[in-house]
A and B are shown apart, each in its own frame.
Chain A
């Protein structure tokens, strides 16, 4: 085990970023076009990085698996984006956003990164408004804000229920402007299948053209992975069906450490599972908890229609247990409580795996028109999927995998343990600790892409000696041939099981044993089963069709193969962390009243795993976390 150096600048918290920017090396404007930068992924982090680096004059190559950069899954974020603007005069500040984020992350994030994020949050809003992002406004023309996801101030900016879409379109449009100017070249329909490391530096990628099936080599001076999270390891999640861990995992296999994979966020307000055909779960924005009240019947197995259950026989359990935050407790607390009332046999709906989110009081108080104005599109979506009208009957909701705080380990400069390989947005691990607060993912993706990487990448490029490496270099040949071999292996199995069947089984295993609550026995079980499932995959997989054209089943099989390797590291990380923290709840570690109990004496570190071979135990490296400004305490939302 080696201690990891996060390269946090010296000085007081408030000075670190400014000092670092001043001390960083620069790249002369005339020299920038001589540097090629590969950016993989075009979500908020990737598209914002592509546009800002293109504007600066670098030669940017942008890759995505979608048919257009505009389709990345950031687009699905509903609720909003936080910023410490204090436009509402209600006590917000950079300091408070910083404090809330460190506390919300259950003291498992890096103070310096979180403070920088809070500082940059204000610039993001300015930039997005300048792009024409139609954030909601007050009648006087000023920007509107709402309180969101457990915050006691109103700092969330939003564009109806489509904030992620509007922010992504802003970043995408800025990126397309650079495409027109020739600084950015867009490569859609490409899947990155390996990072090329030459002389110890990340110098390119191997990708598959998903339309022609051809493998392509691309060389660069630096590679930025902006490839999102790994929530679809669980099969059912709120992530898009094509979201995957492949790029991050392949980078991990080339030497990038994977940090805190057990930190997965389970979102409390999703539409419950309806059957085995289900391909994904749909999130209902947690802004609904601002007006909806969460309850279950007091009695077990109460199958009466919700409207017929009298007030006295309902348990508004969040309001009862957490009087000061009520229905607005953070995501991990809300999810865990939903699970525990369902485990008690008080869940509702056919499966018993759901709780009510009731708008009857809000409709009575505010009238249906106000509710329609606030949540109309969400109510419509709910009705389309469930065939029930939430204006008449309470919604049924249940937690689902939504976001992954873990990711590739990066230092303060967003650089991984492979020199030159930078990781931005959800794909890295850095800012959210063990639990992410609502409306913070969009903030982090854009902060990384618009405002952090332009400085830290220049510092890397300006301070590094590069040898002339072309795509004919041995490292490219070796990487391409290993990618080709893996594709051939997938096609050669010719068994009977579809990638989806195998993926669904992996997902169920992870959900049952590495889900909302984990214990040692369950994790050992998962660790025994995952290799068996992986063997079955390689013995009984069916991938019809050819590799040399559009073959979605082949793409999917490759991603499932990577999940079957990655899942082991995820479960192992969960097993080693015997404390509870944020999204990781270990049943062995709880307070007498059932809340998560951290173990700061033994686990105040980020766990970064080094790949040692498929099925071999990865090596643990620790980055100790120091809390100078926010003193860790037991989180309480009572």
Chain B
């Protein structure tokens, strides 16, 4: 089995072929690692994530997940779980119903077993006993936890997380980071993480790519420690939090 969970070869992404956010980008995400997609706001991090998932078209190149092409969304059992930036929990459903939805769609588990799995998954992310709670009644951190639990509902080996710790206080943010690291390690997950939180990058990311808005390319890739030691000025500016004009 190949060690690569995702292989992107010479891809281009953007709103149109003329207005690209990223071009000629190639990278590989290995099985079992926490891989960070980093960069400043509006550099195309979330768009790249959506392209990897199949929600945005790629304008050039190829993406292979687990050795096969991008999956057909909606028509087959998902091979990955996704946590969207705002959680994207269904507001008309309780947390229990949110988690039960993919299980009802893609497994033949009876209802009592689904209830058991939902309860356990919510317990896993620290939301035990919240089955009947509506997303509107949750704090930002709880909503992110619930979204992570839903992303894990179908036991994917690959999980995409879009800015899981943004907009949270430092302690909650650190708790989410620790949760991601624990889940990734214990459940042997490959995690693709979009973030610009330096704390998250240094705490849990194994390898990462840094996207650059101006050159529409991958500015640097490797372990966060290596990127921090880079002599490239724009990489230093990102990790040193130096404003562009400085």
Is the A/B pair a real complex? no
Interfacial residues, chain A to chain B (CB-CB below 8 A): none
